[in-house]
Structure 1
Amino acid sequence: MITPRGDIMSKRTKSVFFILLFLFAFYSTVSHVTNLSLSDLDEWMAAKFNNKETRDVEALIYKEQELSEKGLKAKNAPQTYVSSAVVEAVQLLEESIDLSQYPSREVVATGYTAGYESTGKTPEHPAYGVTFSGVNVKRDLYSTIAADLDMFPLGTILFIPGYGYGVVADIGGAIKGNKLDLYFPTVNDVYQQWGKQTLDVYVVQEGTGEITEEDLENLNQDESLQVFRSQIRQ
């Protein structure tokens, strides 16, 4: 059955009329309750809508600023890096030596410090920083290292790739067989610059069973190696 076009238009007209009537009644009621004129009410609703938009925009801007500040703080936060100067100096030192002339030994090398975490001693301890040989721990061109004296007697000079020259001056309860402990000034240095590695080390000179502060100082004053010294001591 087809509805006449005139009837459809009549229904639409009635719908529009009732909607307008409802809106007029709504405005009239609100105006009566709030003592606002229809024009005042229109202005109030427009302002309300605009205020909401303003608040939304302000909230968005604040959020962006907050995220930007957080990103800036993260960017400017202090970062910890391994000293590239030390790594580069050791690499250059290694390139200047013909390691093939020395016998090699495979070892497991770890890092240690003079601190409580490695030795059980605090700075107040009278033997803090003093090795088994009696010399003080040192990180230099020739650094103090710990070894099993049955394998490497005191005073033995090793070249450890990635670390440099090490002079056996210390021992350790867990340093048995093919194990070495390499001295670093801080725990961060141990973790960032070394950790634990299995590698070949080179026996530059076998020790006599002793090493003194004077011996160590003379080694570190080798004029041909001074170009590397300041970087390694950082």
Structure 2
Amino acid sequence: MKIKKAFRRVGMFSLFVAAFLVTITSISNVSFADVRDWVDYEPMRITNTVTNTVTESKFRQSSLEKKELNYLEQKKMYISSDEIEGPKTLEEAANINQYPKSQVVATGYTAGVESTGKSPGHPEYGITYSGVQVKRDLYSTIAADLDVYPIGTILFIPDYGYGVVADKGSAITGNKIDLFFNTVEDVYAQWGKKELDVHLIELGDGTLTEKELKQLNETDSLQVFRQQITES
């Protein structure tokens, strides 16, 4: 029994060694014959019968030097044009041509004293007629004639973005709208006064809450454009 166990162990060890050598060979790309040639390598001597000189051949050595390790070629990842191409601006993404349009005169305003008569520290500073805080975002707060565009109405204003009617003003009547900007400098640098076509996305019902405005600004499909708006 002991002899059988010994033979069995020897056989198992031999199989393990053979498997290990096969694995090393497949990875290194060096065969058993290459190893034997390397160990037993003796330069071949070639005699030139004309000059009677002896040179050593490097052929066998160089053949081993050219052996390279096998490696797995990394698969190239290709992205289709459909995956990398798409709307580059918020206006393209909105597909505004499907919505009715009307011509308005659009001006800009801020939360400051120059537009509202209120300074920071005033209890109603930055608070619109609807009760929400003024905001410049994917969906910004704007003022309009509430008889034309009730509170909650969503307009798309080219070069500005989505505007949600949240406020009114004594000078904002008829076809006039007022767009919120964070600073007076932004009003002059980015807008001023423009006559243009706006698109009616949704007519409001007369109400607007902070929760509704937040949900609009968290629309997943529009987040890629958020930086364009907030840093403009």
In which range does the TM-score fall when normalised by the shorter chain? 0.5 to 0.7
* AA aligned opposite 1:141: L
Once the two structures are TM-superposed, the CA of residue 125 in structure 1 deviates from its matched residue by 0.8
Once the two structures are TM-superposed, the CA of residue 231 in structure 1 deviates from its matched residue by 2.9
Map of 1:168 onto structure 2? 165
Map of 1:203 onto structure 2? 200
Query: In 2, distance between residues paired with 1:142 and 1:170?
Result: 14
1:222 to 219, 224, 230: 219
Matched, 1:189 2:198: no
Q: Which secondary structure does the structure 1 equivalent of 2:94 belong to?
A: coil
Pick 1 or 2: higher relative contact order, CA cutoff 8 A, min separation 6.
1
* AA aligned opposite 2:141: T
Taking structure 1 as reference, are residues 120 and 91 closer, same or farther at Cα in structure 2, changes over 3 Å only? farther
2:110 to 101, 104, 113: 113
Root-mean-square deviation (CA), in Å?
1.3
Query: In 2, distance between residues paired with 1:198 and 1:91?
Result: 24
Map of 1:142 onto structure 2? 139
2:100 to 64, 79, 103: 103
Once the two structures are TM-superposed, the CA of residue 124 in structure 1 deviates from its matched residue by 1.5
Taking structure 1 as the reference length, the TM-score comes to: 0.61
- Between structures 1 and 2, the one with greater strand share: 2
- Between structures 1 and 2, the one with greater helix share: 1
Once the two structures are TM-superposed, the CA of residue 105 in structure 1 deviates from its matched residue by 1.0
1:123 to 99, 120, 133: 120
Query: In 1, distance between residues paired with 2:88 and 2:150?
Result: 26
* AA aligned opposite 1:229: R
* AA aligned opposite 2:107: T
1:9-20 alignment runs, 5 A limit: none
CA deviations on 1:24-79 (whole Å, 9 max, x unpaired) are: xxxxxxxxxxxxxxxxxxxxxxxxxxxxxxxxxxxxxxxxxxxxxxxxxxxxxxxx
Taking structure 1 as reference, are residues 223 and 208 closer, same or farther at Cα in structure 2, changes over 3 Å only? same
Taking structure 1 as reference, are residues 186 and 91 closer, same or farther at Cα in structure 2, changes over 3 Å only? farther
CA deviations on 1:137-190 (whole Å, 9 max, x unpaired) are: 000000000000000000000000010000000000100000000000000000
Once the two structures are TM-superposed, the CA of residue 96 in structure 1 deviates from its matched residue by 1.8
* AA aligned opposite 1:185: N
Gap runs ≥5 in structure 2 = 1-86
Once the two structures are TM-superposed, the CA of residue 204 in structure 1 deviates from its matched residue by 0.3
Query: In 1, distance between residues paired with 2:129 and 2:142?
Result: 10
Does the CA-based 8 Å contact 1:141-1:220 persist in structure 2?
Answer: yes
Identity of aligned residues (%): 66
Map of 2:14 onto structure 1? none
Gap runs ≥5 in structure 1 = 1-89
Once the two structures are TM-superposed, the CA of residue 230 in structure 1 deviates from its matched residue by 2.4
* AA aligned opposite 2:213: L
Does the CA-based 8 Å contact 1:141-1:232 persist in structure 2?
Answer: yes
Once the two structures are TM-superposed, the CA of residue 102 in structure 1 deviates from its matched residue by 0.5
Map of 2:91 onto structure 1? 94
Q: Which secondary structure does the structure 2 equivalent of 1:226 belong to?
A: helix
Number of aligned positions between the proteins: 145
Query: In 2, distance between residues paired with 1:168 and 1:208?
Result: 11
Query: In 1, distance between residues paired with 2:167 and 2:200?
Result: 17
